[in-house]
Chain A
């Protein structure tokens, strides 16, 4: 096969890897949307917040150092210790659970039975709030995420594919790690929702709120649970994206990229989020590779949205979404 085809294949494989990352963010959306009907715009900012917190804890930063310095005229920055990565991750998970409890107590509890658009707006408000808090807590400079994930181009794949096809594939080791972790995460989520008591309660709530309430499932507990899980997924996504491109504000923008993924896959389907992510990731890289040079490049900015838009015109509920039945 000519090199051009191999190159296109390589672009495709890399697109798939990016797609895995999109799917990770989309997963958090789907979880919350299924369990509470809330379209959680803050998912991307949650990933940013989780990543910031993780780096901050790891490096022993003093939370709100800038604010304290500005108010009291002190000059503190670090506690002067380094926390091991694993412990820092556990602590960050605790922070995200705390956040979930707070969100339920302060925001969601008061907005029960409001229209979906109001809840959606509330999560946009939440996104602003969290972004501000994250910056205030840990500072807004670009940080380096280092939790011991492999980095760089994988030499073994390069060599192996060169031996087989006469063309070396460049694949980032981080992407491979991300794919494995994403697969593990999805497997864990499936096991959790199929085989544990809480997981079954979760599915019951997702199926029918009122019926779940009437058999004695606490909605509020489920909400805290699902927001905690979404926080955990956000942390995983934050670690991956943070390791890939640094922990900075643009991290929260990947949430927007996850939206067309959701539309393609359907808001209510976990497999849909994965497949949608892969399609979008692969599609936008291939499109950029083939059509991009003709129209001036940077088509990745909009390709996903336009693809999702065109797709939805033909199948309004997405690939795997529940069929929309409308009654008067």
Chain B
């Protein structure tokens, strides 16, 4: 009844090309924006920000990044954790080397550094395909983590080998370091998520995005009709690593504050982001966020249920959580291999006809 194209007349080409051509979608989008920017910052408290919102925002950025590479360009990567580590360490080095630089610019520059590293590790993708490439990206994961562990320059020769974020402010409000407010860190990360989603959405529906998808669907055919595979694959690696690097920088500077590289950016994180992308939906920006929300909320929910509700000890609950997460992943793949985004599409299809399905 409300969700319909009928009566929504387009009079300009710009209307046709907009991201949300259906009025209801557009209003929903504005409502979400108002809620996220105007309401949540006033009611958010430390627990919600640290347990749910910040991880969700940061992992969403990472998932959008990986989705560009895997979902849109078809290059499976298991190096996400390593690239996040690049972002984190670039952020740390820039923060300590240029104390006067605004933290927002530092985070963007970290993304830029990661983009460069990503292109470097993306080069073999021109020769290596499919699972071989997935395993090859493991080289990035292990090599980068080892590098940040072993070369003292990266952690400024600190004795513990940890890096910790000094305090930096945006408009006089601290967003990193020990004296932050929940609303400030939340808004800071939210801005980056909105930026990432905007960038990804507009890239993927343009010429670059179409060349990615052509490569994904069949790379040889794409090459024959004139898509330059070198360009397409490397731009995908670049944009993807840029976003993943931003996520890594935020994860380190805003969320964790202090990081030990093997622990924070290990191979588990690469798989976590890949799960988000698969469960959310390959080739969907909404799906990336839905997947991130799912993978962030599930452990919180299970922990509250098992430890808080049933009174199990935490080790047992952690094992049970593994079983549930593994089981759910298999369940999702069997029931809906295209992820939450596909379920959302189906719901919208149904909604279009509701309440008169015939």
Contact = CB atoms under 8 A, between A and B. Distances in A.
Contacts of A324: 129
Contacts of A106: 330
Contact of B329 (A124, A256, A260, A316): A124
B322 A129 contact: yes
Contacts of A160: none
Contacts of B275: 121, 124
Interface stretch (A12-20, A76-84, A132-140, A174-182): A132-140
Contacts, number: 146
A299 B333 CA distance: 37
Given A110-B334, A316-B127, A129 B326 contact: yes
Contact of A312 (B127, B149, B274, B313): B127
B297 interface: no
Interface in B266-293: 267, 271, 274-275, 278, 282
B303 to A, nearest CB: 14
Contact of A107 (B278, B334, B337): B334
B323 A308 contact: no
Size category, A interface: 35 or more
Given A66-B316, A117-B76, A305-B135, A256 B267 contact: yes
Interface stretch (B11-19, B52-60, B139-147, B197-205): B139-147
Interface stretch (B89-97, B217-225, B226-234, B347-355): B217-225
Given A302-B142, A328-B220, A312 B132 contact: yes
Interface string B110-132: 00000000000000100111111
B340 interface: no
Contacts of A263: 132, 135-136
A71 to B, nearest CB: 8
A306 B130 contact: no
Interface string B255-274: 00000000000010001001
Size category, B interface: 35 or more
A298 B146 contact: yes
A326 interface: yes
A135 B127 contact: no
A209 B321 CA distance: 37
A127 interface: yes
A293 interface: no
Nearest to B218: A328
Interface string A241-276: 000000000000000100110110001000000000
Contact of B128 (A107, A295, A301, A313): A313
B260 to A, nearest CB: 15
Contacts of B135: 259-260, 262-263, 305, 308
Nearest to B79: A305
B132 A125 contact: no
Interface string B234-259: 00000000000000000000000000
B27 interface: no
B323 A136 contact: yes
Interface in B48-79: 76
A317 B149 CA distance: 32
B157 interface: no
Contacts of A127: 326
B139 A308 contact: yes
A328 B136 contact: no
Given A122-B333, A130-B326, A140-B315, A302 B139 contact: yes
Contacts of A135: 319, 322
B29 interface: no
Contacts of B127: 312-313, 316
Given A111-B334, A116-B131, A121-B274, A309 B124 contact: yes
A76 to B, nearest CB: 15
Contacts of B322: 128-129, 131-132, 135
A125 B330 contact: yes
Contacts of A312: 124, 127-128, 132, 136
Interface residues of B, dominant DSSP: helix
Most chain A beta-carbon contacts within 10 A, residue among B130, B275, B322: B322
Contact of A297 (B128, B139, B150): B150
A1 B278 CA distance: 57
Interface string B2-46: 000000000000000000000000000000000000000000000
Contacts of B138: 256, 259-260, 305
B325 interface: yes
B166 interface: no
Contact of A131 (B134, B136, B278, B326): B326
Interface in A222-236: none
B150 A295 contact: yes
B344 interface: no
B151 interface: yes
Contact of B316 (A67, A126, A301): A67
A306 B146 CA distance: 12
Contacts of B328: 125
Contacts of A215: none
A132 B323 contact: yes
B150 A298 contact: yes
A125 B333 contact: yes
28 contacts: A70-B316, A110-B334, A116-B131, A122-B329, A124-B271, A124-B275, A125-B333, A128-B322, A128-B325, A132-B323, A256-B138, A259-B138, A260-B139, A262-B135, A263-B132, A296-B150, A297-B150, A298-B146, A301-B145, A301-B146, A305-B143, A308-B135, A312-B124, A312-B127, A313-B127, A324-B129, A327-B220, A328-B220
Given A125-B329, A135-B319, A256-B138, 9 more contacts: A66-B316, A70-B312, A117-B76, A121-B333, A129-B326, A132-B324, A132-B325, A298-B149, A302-B139
| 8 A-B pairs with the lowest CB-CB distances in the bound complex, closest first | A129-B326, A132-B322, A128-B326, A125-B329, A132-B323, A305-B139, A302-B142, A296-B150
